[in-house]
Amino acid sequence: MTTVRGLEPRALNLIRDVLSRHPAVTGAILFGSRAKGTARPASDVDLALEGVNTPLEAEEIAGELEELPLPYRFDVQALSAIRHAALREHIERVGVRILG
């Protein structure tokens, strides 16, 4: 199991459970402060999803993640829809694969 400095194992398991219920999701990459290990208690959970093709699909999954009994906000993006080169580079550089 992947160890993530910014998320406790229970939270990681709950997130994976939600993601695995979506057949379109072929992978998930945690990025941002939680991937870098610099998260503060109020930091959100940034996820880039593989297999999800539209921002709307990502938003629907984010809504499900928000319903989890966790003290986090979620910023979920379809990796294929990210056009900002600096963000894509950041995900490639610091991203931690949590699914797939």
- Sign, CA torsion 69/75/79/80: positive
Structural domains of the chain, ranges and CATH numbers in brackets: 9-99 (3.30.460.10)
- Token pair recorded at residue 95: 């991203």
Strand residues in the chain grouped as ranges (E) = 27-31, 45-50, 74-78, 96-99
The vertex-41 CA angle with 39 and 42, nearest 5°, equals 95
This prediction has a pTM of: 0.93
Predicted local confidence at residue 2, as pLDDT: 53
- H-helix or E-strand containing 12? helix 9-20
Confidence band for 69, pLDDT divided at 50, 70 and 90: very high
Confidence band for 57, pLDDT divided at 50, 70 and 90: very high
Q: Taking 70 as the threshold, does the pLDDT of residue 73 lie above it?
A: yes
- Residue 26 exposed, middle or buried by CB count within 10 Å (0-12, 13-18, 19+): middle
Question: Tell me: the pLDDT tens digits for 1-54?
Answer: 455 777 899 999 999 999 999 999 999 999 999 999 899 988 999 999 999 989
